Amino acid sequence: MRFKGSDHNRGIAVDLTILDRNGNPLDMGTAFDEFSPKSHHTYIELSPEVLKNWLLKTTMASIGLYHINTEWWHYTWNGKKPPVGKWVWDCN
């Protein structure tokens, strides 16, 4: 049986941001999971302060994780994709 799922289900993708020294998230231009053009890496009509936070993208790339253009928070390991797990969360 073939299971469907995202790279998150394969354990090779992560959603993250950068926090300042006080634990506050840096302004990335949008909220996490805001699916709008403003969340795209190519969107540049943002303040200079927000554009400076492209540090996240360059840092992730420097360790071999790649991005998808539409989500500034999503990074994926650039290697062989393992299968989707067969276990089910025990959620109520």
- Name the helix (H) or strand (E) containing 14: strand 13-15
Report if residue 15 touches Zn ion, rule: CB under 5 A.
yes
37-46 long-range contacts (CB < 8 A, ≥24 apart) are 39/70, 39/71, 39/72, 39/73, 40/69, 40/70, 40/72, 41/67, 41/69, 41/72, 42/69
Does the annotation count 71 as an active-site position? Answer: yes
Query: Which among 34, 45, 49, 71 is annotated as catalytic?
Result: 71
Minimal CB distance to Zn ion: which residue? 74
Contacts with Zn ion: how many residues (CB under 5 A)? 2
Q: Which stretch binds Zn ion (CB under 5 A): 15-23, 24-32, 51-59, 83-91?
A: 15-23
The residues in 69-88 that bind Zn ion, with binding defined as CB under 5 A, are 74
Binding positions for Zn ion, rule: CB under 5 A = 15, 74
